[in-house]
């Protein structure tokens, strides 16, 4: 049983996924808080140390803020309702943070799972995770390290003090999902160091997104940080992160603003530079190759060969974990393959 941490599960109109998540984590006896913004309260069975908060109609950040006030454990873990975060890996992250007070977040390796006709299949997410190193004693340097490479830390084991600052600073004017995720990682870097551990940590099921289709919530960070229509929102990002940097580390306000802007620009330069759209004539050779492959079957064989290579590479990577990880993986894959009611 994992003590000292709350598993926080946000959900909205997905009772089947919530039911599955509660059953999965319930077996580990962990403390759970559910933030449910569905119009109707969840009617399923709730057992064990679970606190259910019905927040009908509240936006994502608003419901997180209201539930965050009720968390009393020193650590917290965000769990999407369609994710499986392995409790044993959470315990390892928790132990690391307990032994290293200068670190505020820790997580292991994430995988995605897709249910197919022949069962659920696993694929690694963030293969660059092995290169993550956010360990400088300087918060200004950590703001650069967190982008090189960037791995989202939103679903990491984190200190509750970080959660409280995030929900306080990310509401009231910040709406873009991509910027909110990056903002979370930047605030974590301001608070302290991040550890990426070699653990089988979590599985994310590949399911259709339930998020609103408002393009303001889907524009990339390069759009939010550069286009005039987002000037007000981006200004809030810079000012709020800089204010935290000043409050926690006595960094002069203008230096803090420059450091936040530089961190965002580093992210944009690494991950948001797009090549110009090609014309139809420029794309013709690609279309011709696809048509030829479809007629001859060569394309399908090539894709199958690539899939086998990816599967082999994933198996090699997974073999570095201990034997218990395989049992944990198989149990999760069975749940994914079974689907939700």
88 within some domain: yes
Q: For residue 213, give both structure tokens.
A: 């289709």
- Residue 196, Ramachandran bin (φ over 0: left; ψ between -120 and 50: alpha; else beta): beta
Residues of the chain with pLDDT under 70: 1, 208-217, 273-304, 307
* 136-128-154 Cα angle (round to 5): 65
Pairing of strands 5-11, 75-78: parallel
- Tell me: do 76 and 91 sit in the same domain: no
Final residue in a domain of this structure, among 221, 236, 271: 271
- Tell me: do 9 and 97 sit in the same domain: no
- Tell me: do 179 and 265 sit in the same domain: yes
Final residue in a domain of this structure, among 220, 250, 271: 271
Final residue in a domain of this structure, among 24, 57, 81: 81
Q: What is the pLDDT of residues 259-311, one digit of tens each?
A: 999 999 999 999 886 655 566 666 666 656 666 666 666 666 666 677 677 77
Q: What is the pLDDT of residues 221-268, one digit of tens each?
A: 999 999 999 999 999 999 999 999 999 999 999 999 999 999 999 999
* pTM across the whole model: 0.88
- Tell me: do 87 and 195 sit in the same domain: yes
339 within some domain: no
- Tell me: do 120 and 245 sit in the same domain: yes
Domain range enclosing 104: 83-271
Per-residue pLDDT, 111: 93
- Tell me: do 77 and 200 sit in the same domain: no
């Amino acid at each position: 049983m994992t003590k000292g941490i709350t598993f926080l599960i946000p959900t909205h109109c997905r009772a089947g996924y919530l039911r599955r998540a509660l059953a999965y984590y319930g077996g580990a006896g962990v403390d759970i808080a559910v933030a449910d913004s569905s119009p109707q309260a969840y009617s399923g069975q709730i057992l064990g140390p679970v606190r259910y908060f019905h927040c009908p109609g509240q936006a994502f950040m608003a419901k997180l803020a209201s539930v965050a006030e009720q968390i009393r454990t020193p650590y917290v873990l965000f769990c999407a309702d369609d994710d499986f975060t392995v409790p044993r890996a959470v315990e390892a992250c928790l132990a690391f943070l307990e032994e290293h007070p200068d670190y505020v977040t820790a997580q292991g390796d994430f995988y995605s799972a897709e249910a197919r006709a022949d069962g659920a299949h696993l694929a690694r997410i963030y293969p660059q995770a092995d290169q993550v190193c956010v360990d400088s004693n300087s918060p200004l340097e950590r703001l650069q390290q967190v982008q090189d490479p960037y791995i989202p830390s939103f679903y990491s084991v984190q200190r509750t003090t970080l959660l409280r600052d995030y929900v306080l600073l990310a509401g009231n004017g910040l709406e873009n999902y991509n910027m909110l995720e990056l903002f979370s990682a930047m605030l974590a870097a301001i608070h302290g160091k991040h550890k990426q551990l070699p653990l089988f940590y979590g599985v994310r099921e590949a399911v259709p997104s339930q998020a609103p289709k408002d393009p303001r919530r889907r524009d990339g960070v390069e759009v939010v940080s550069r286009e005039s229509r987002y000037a007000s929102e981006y200004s809030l990002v810079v000012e709020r992160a800089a204010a935290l940097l000043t409050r926690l580390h006595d960094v002069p306000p203008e230096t803090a603003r420059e450091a936040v802007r530089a961190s965002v620009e580093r992210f944009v330069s690494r991950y948001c530079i797009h090549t110009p759209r090609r014309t139809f004539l420029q794309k013709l050779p690609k279309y011709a190759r696809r048509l030829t492959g479809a007629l001859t079957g060569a394309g399908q064989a090539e894709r199958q060969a690539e899939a086998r290579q990816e599967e082999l590479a994933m198996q090699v990577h997974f073999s570095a974990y201990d034997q218990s990880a395989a049992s944990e993986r198989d149990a999760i894959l069975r749940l994914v393959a079974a689907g939700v009611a």
